[in-house]
Structure 1
Amino acid sequence: MNTTRPHPPKVAHAGQPGARDPFGAHLRHWRTHRRLSQLDLAQEAEVSTRHLSYVETGRAAPSREMVLRLAERLEVPLRERNALLVAAGFAPMYRQRSLDDPALAAARRAVDLVLKGHEPFPALAVDRHWNLVAHNALVPMLMEGAAPALLQGPINVLRLSLHPEGLAPRIANLAQWRTHLLERLQQQIAATGDPVLQALHDELEAYPPPAVHHDLPAIDTALSAVAVPIQFVTPNGVLSFITTITIFGTPVDVTLQELAVESFFPADEQTAAALAALAAQTAR
């Protein structure tokens, strides 16, 4: 598994072509979404500009190899690569299965090991739309106090975090964390062009601005210079975390490519001690 995630430049969102649209419409969408001219893409894919133009306008049909080469150069996610293949008249190449599918048993074990191994600190796994897939024993502690409607499956962790009836009132540095999450979501939209993520971004952005103010404990200056912390108000005091995202490095399954594990690390000694004590109480 890989702990890095690309951060493509922001681009204007445009609606994706439908399932019945021709291959050329899909190709043009991704080419313009990546802000490439036909000449740029032709050079990247090592094809003639004339042939690429013919493919985009429907005057020429691409081979399966050509579809995959263009998708690779355009960094099209696996789900959308299947749509490109179907639009060109070929069978989908990448399977999409539930994480509970026996074929993904090894991957599920890897996720569970990461989650369990991260205790006594919180860790969770989410799908491409930030819906909760799995979590370790510490995560329910972070969800305490949220409105029951937000805790009904599927739980969207971004909505839960920023909703006024969710965790937002307990996030001491809500303004800073809200800005971070919206920027992070915008980067994902730029990479995928996913309209569901765009709708989620618009919803979160429309939530009322932070109105609760807390006295924040000091964050290590060196730490805050490289990571945005999240600070939770709890009965045990303010707990400060930084987070990392872990993804599968070489997925050939749609589900695995879209799966991410977020791990919370204590940003100070007080948080580490409080979580260790809480884990000890829970284990009794």
Structure 2
Amino acid sequence: MSYHNAVLLQESVDGLNIKEDGIYVDVTFGGGGHSKEILKRLGKNGKLFAFDQDPDAINNAIDDERFVLIPENFRYISRFLRFHRIKKVDGVLADLGVSSHQFDEAERGFSIRFDGDLDMRMNQKSKISAKEIINNYSEEKLAEILFLYGELRNSRKLARTIVHERKNAPIETSFQLKEVLKAFLPNAREHKILAQIFQAIRIEVNEELEVLKEFLQQIPNLLNEEGRLSVISYHSLEDRLVKRFIRTGLFEGEPEKDVFGNSNEPLKKVGKLIVPPKEEIKINNRARSAKLRLATLK
């Protein structure tokens, strides 16, 4: 099995409008699919930096003098690029979410298909795992996470059940959590509800929405004139943040206007929303929820 099938590969890299001698960043390296496609289009003087905090991804590093893999979270994109004496870039690509490899490794705890340790850490050095959240967070905090990040209307009942059951014994594996919540998992909707529950916990473990916000806020100062941002998201929480930041430069509220009624949004969208064609979804089912948005400096 391949490490990860890159979603919207051609479309996302096309969206970067690559210059042969440009400097580009792939902030979610994973199996290296997008990075390899970018390198194909770069000339000998081009440069590609990639980020990935998952130690498993480091094994996929590409042997190419134009390529540098930075084993860090992309929330620190500007800091680590400055370390490499890079202040501005011509394009940034982000393929958000969990890689196929992370889903397929049972012991990582990302998948509802396998019984694995409740981990879900993308960075294995992180202190807080899914197990810590499930067994130690208060009922109120658990309910808040399940509601905000899983968009589950019965979040309070779910949280109450988890807190009640963990008093009897710690909840340590994926299937234990599934068993604890079986009363809320009707056969017809079990997969969907479990996916929402696991998504909520995973987002909290990895601070995914905070990371995305910090990353997006750095983009206007990082892009060269005519530089491009290419972002693939997989659920509405991410996509709303990306869409809103491209439109307004903010995550909530509306931009202030000057006395002439003009506002100062840093980015502008390029083209329309792009989703995978049916053929790609047939080959790679995980592409079904992908949405690609492109932007450049205003």
Question: Fold conserved (TM > 0.5)?
Answer: no
Greater relative contact order, per chain length (Cα 8 Å cut-off, separation 6+)? 1
Structure 1 length normalisation: TM-score? 0.27
Structure 2 length normalisation: TM-score? 0.26
